[in-house]
Amino acid sequence: MSVLNSVSRPVVKFDPSNPDHRKWLGVFTSTLSWGDCPVRFSNEGYGNTVAQMQQRLIEYYISQEFNK
């Protein structure tokens, strides 16, 4: 028998400029677990949510480095 969690985490769009979002993706990358993350991330369209988040994070850091 499984127990359903009656309280789900809010769903948010990943924002690479948000330090908390970057932290949670970093924790996931290290632990392969979203267990401590207080939100669920959504993606636009279809595909791997984590891969899309990583791509957006790369684009964010490239823009910080080269668009000064």
Would you kindly state where each structural domain of the chain is located, as residue ranges? 11-66
pLDDT at 40: 95
Q: How confident is the model at residue 1 (pLDDT cuts 50, 70, 90)?
A: very low
Degrees, nearest 5: CA angle 63-36-6: 120
Instruction: Tell me the whole-structure pTM to 2 decimals.
Output: 0.81
Banded model confidence at residue 3, pLDDT cuts 50, 70, 90: low
Which residues of the chain form beta strands (DSSP E)?
Answer: 11-13, 40-42
pLDDT digits (tens, 9 = 90+) for 28-67: 999 999 999 999 999 887 889 999 999 999 999 999 999 8
User: How far is residue 4's CA from residue 64's CA, in Å, rounded to a whole number?
Assistant: 42
Number of other CB atoms surrounding residue 25 within 10 Å: 20
